[in-house]
A and B are shown apart, each in its own frame.
Chain A
Amino acid sequence: MRAGTRLGFVLLIAPLLLWLVLLIVIPHIDLALLSLRERVGVGEYAVSMANYRTFLDEPLYLWTFLRTAVMAVLATAITLVIGFPVSFYIAKIARGRVQSALFLLCLVPFWVSELVRTFGWMILLRETGLISGLLQWIGVADGPVEMLYNDAAMMVGLVYTSMLFMVVPLVTTLESLDDGIIEAGYDLGGSGPSVLREIIIPHAVPGIVAGSIVVFMLSLGNYLTPTMLGGKDSLWFTELIYSQFIVRFNWELGAAFGFLLLVLSSVIVWAMLRLTGQTLEKTMGSA
């Protein structure tokens, strides 16, 4: 490198390193260290696994952790199943103006904050809400029906909130599939399901992986939707983190929870990439 480009290099890499080291790397190391700390007396601390033991010993914590993981995977699967046909429609069946209009329509709900979206579902689902009113009006229900504060309502909200992040990468990858290849599949005697299984889905794998990773992450880390739409029984792991940090002021335990959430999401994202032979660089580039 010449002297000039060397200076340029240093100037360009400095902000990147400052950002990553000060805001990402060191804070997470600090979080890990804090989670390994135990208060033994006033102002006295020792290194121990006590916080992680608390996590394992208390059934509520462990149960919430596992439940959150399973529900987040479920939300991802539902989002994929609902979003795939729509993405295919936008990418392959709609044409020209209609195509771009539909694509834009998919983006619209995500220009407003998650809070507004959740609020909308509350208005629809609650006891005095629209759906309850509609059911009474057509005579299916005799009195007000409460549809909020349960797992199903929470799932509806989670799927709704993450839909965009599934549809966009799916549409992008499906658009790159040549119609001729699908036609060739039929010419060679394939039926609808076999063409879908052997041509369309394999081609869409990068989009499916990218979408699933983002949706899974967003569901796992969601706080608003489970708090507002879920019931007393549908405690989400992020709610535990929040209560340890802000309500109980037990930062050590909260840090351990946070670290566990981070490990869980990293393991599942890594497994997803591994199983499908994708890399983070390629996946995030397309998303």
Chain B
Amino acid sequence: MIPSMPRPRAYRLIYGAYVTLFFVYLALPLAVVAVFAFNDSVFPALPWEGFTWNWFFGDARPQIGVFHERRILRAIGTSVLVGACVSALSLVVGTSNAFLFNRYRFRGRGLLYVLMLLPLVIPGIVLGISILVFSSTVANAAWDAWQWDLVALRPGLVLVILGQFSFITTIATLVISARLQKFDRSLEEAALNLGAGRLTAVRTVTLPFLAPALVGAFVVAFLMSFENFNTTLMLVGSDAPLTIAMFDRLKEGSTPLLNAVSLLLMLGSSVLALTMIVFQRR
């Protein structure tokens, strides 16, 4: 079963074939999405009509490319904005949580820790509707009491950001906590002995040590926000992020334009993920 145990040749062949097949299964859908981005036809389907760059750069109907399609470009912009806000927020709160659970022993710590993990086991769509319901309750109450119209609490980008933040923070907290646990606190004490204040010690010694985890948490949070569908679907207003815009397109019927966007997404996230890996290695 392990290399030190001799096994019959047939067994090893079958096992190897199975693993190969598994990776084909993983790669296949992505490969076809990428390939059909270059099909010179209005359907991302067989037959293959020849190679074209039009779905990226085309500017004439019916083949309007990604870079000339305003709605898609705007949706990408929206997604980037939401992603940046969500990652920044969850990074700050995640770091604070990591320090809290690492440095303090207090009553209710265990309970709070479990509560902190809960967003991971709540279905995304339920998170979405619960935030939708609560924000409407607040907005309606404000209107009834003072005639204030709290637009931010109606479906829209603010709610999308809050909804994604509500569970991505848990992941940021876990990523940062894992690294903080490996930190040798005597380094911080050395800084204190050398005359640094508490904050200076944390800023000059602990935070640099955490840097790889902070970058990792930011990238993971950004990717998760960019990809998020379920929570966003329930909270979205008129400004649709990319996944929602693509979903609406897909329901109307697909063109290779969607393949082109998807291919760009794959490239974008691979670049981000690779940067992160390089950062972790240093």
The answer to whether A266 touches B121, judged by C-beta atoms less than 8 angstroms apart, is yes
Residue in chain B with minimal CB distance to A123 = B32
A81-104 contact mask (Cβ, 8 Å, vs B): 1 or 0: 010011011001101000000100
A112 to chain B, nearest CB (A): 5
Q: Would you give the 0/1 interface string for B106-140, flagging 1 where the beta carbon is closer than 8 Å to chain A? A: 10000011111111111111110111111001000
Interface residues of A in 232-287 (CB under 8 A from B): 238, 241-242, 245-246, 251, 254-255, 258-259, 261-262, 265-266, 269, 280-281, 284-285
Q: Are B121 and A12 in contact (CB under 8 A)?
A: no
- Asked whether A111 lies within 8 Å of B273 as measured between CB atoms, the reply is yes
Closest to A137 in B: B46
The B contact surface, by secondary structure, is helix
| Chain A residue contacts of B131, Cβ below 8 A | 23, 27
Given A27-B130, A238-B230; A115-B29 close (CB under 8 Å): no
Given contacts A86-B22, A120-B28, A183-B5, contact A217 B133 (CB under 8 A): no
Closest 4 CB pairs of A and B: A120-B29, A221-B123, A27-B130, A27-B134
| A120-B134 contact in complex given A23-B166, A224-B247, C-beta closer than 8 Å | no
Tell me the bound Cα distance from A4 to B270 in angstroms: 44
Closest Cβ neighbor of A95 among chain B residues: B3
Contact A16 B126 (CB under 8 A): no
Contact partner of B227 among A114, A130, A269, CB < 8 A?
Answer: A114
Question: Which B residues are in CB contact (< 8 Å) with A129?
Answer: 45-46
| Docked CA distance A8–B104 (Å) | 10
A204 within 8 A of B: no
Residue of chain B at shortest CB distance from A216: B121
Alpha-carbon gap, A121 to B43, bound state (A): 15
Partner of A245, one of B31, B92, B227, B234: B234
Bound: A261/B269 CA distance, A: 32
Shortest B8–chain A CB gap in Å is: 11
Residue of A23, A105, A106, A255 ringed by the most chain B CB atoms within 10 A: A23
A166 to chain B, nearest CB (A): 12
Cβ contact of B125, chosen from A5, A82, A241, cutoff 8 A: A241
Residues of A participating in the B interface, judged by any CB pair closer than 8 Å: 4-5, 8-9, 11-13, 15-16, 19-20, 23-28, 30-31, 34, 82, 85-86, 88-89, 92-93, 95, 102, 105-109, 111-117, 119-124, 126, 128-130, 133, 160, 163, 179, 182-183, 186, 192, 195-196, 200, 213-214, 217, 220-224, 228, 238, 241-242, 245-246, 251, 254-255, 258-259, 261-262, 265-266, 269, 280-281, 284-285
In Å, the complex CA distance between A105 and B20 comes to 12
* Contact indicator B97/A16 (Cβ below 8 Å): yes
CB <8 Å contact, A285 and B174? yes
- Please determine whether B1 and A196 come into contact, CB atoms closer than 8 angstroms: yes
Q: Tell me the bound Cα distance from A89 to B46 in angstroms.
A: 36
Looking at the assembled complex, report how far the CB atom of B150 sits from the nearest CB atom of chain A, in whole angstroms: 14
Size bracket, chain B contacts: 35 or more
Contact status B4-A12, CB under 8 Å:
no
Residues of chain B in range 9-30 having any CB-CB distance to chain A below 8 Å: 15, 18-19, 22-23, 25-30
State whether A124 touches B32 (Cβ < 8 A).
yes
Q: Chain A's nearest CB lies how many Å from the CB of B16?
A: 8
Could you tell me if A117 and B30 are in contact, using CB atoms closer than 8 angstroms?
A: yes
Q: How far, in whole Å, are A274 and B59 apart by their CA atoms in the complex?
A: 59
- Out of B46, B125, B223, name the residue touching A128 (CB < 8 Å): B46
Asked if B198 is an interface residue, CB under 8 A from chain A, the answer is yes
The interface centre, meaning the residue of A102, A107, A116 with most chain B CB atoms within 10 A of its CB, is A116
Asked if A238 contacts B125 (CB within 8 A), the reply is yes
A24 engages B166 (CB within 8 Å): yes
Q: How far is the CA of A20 from the CA of B131 in the complex (A)?
A: 12
Q: Would you call A93 and B45 a contact (CB within 8 A)?
A: no
Residues in A whose Cβ lies below 8 Å from that of B266: 111-112, 116
* Distance between B101 CB and nearest chain A CB, rounded to angstroms: 9
Residues of A near B87 (CB, < 8 A) are none
B226 and A113 within 8 A (CB)? yes
Report the bound CA distance from A160 to B22 in whole Å.
Answer: 10
A224–B227 Cα distance when bound, in Å, is 12
What are 28 A-B contacts with C-beta separation under 8 Å?
A5-B104, A24-B119, A24-B166, A27-B130, A82-B22, A85-B15, A88-B1, A89-B19, A93-B2, A105-B27, A114-B229, A115-B250, A116-B30, A116-B265, A117-B30, A119-B250, A119-B254, A120-B30, A124-B32, A130-B32, A214-B120, A221-B230, A228-B250, A238-B230, A241-B126, A258-B130, A259-B126, A265-B123
State whether A217 touches B123 (Cβ < 8 A): yes
Q: Do B262 and A112 touch (CB < 8 A)? A: yes
Bound complex: CA A115 to CA B114 (Å)? 31
Q: Which of A109, A254, A255 is within 8 Å of B30, CB to CB? A: A109
Nearest Cβ on chain A to B122's Cβ, whole angstroms: 6
Cα A214 to Cα B115 with chains together (Å):
17
* A96 CA to B127 CA, complexed, in Å: 41
Question: Are A19 and B130 in contact, with the CB atoms below 8 A?
Answer: no
Q: Which of A92, A109, A222 sits near B2, CB closer than 8 Å?
A: A92
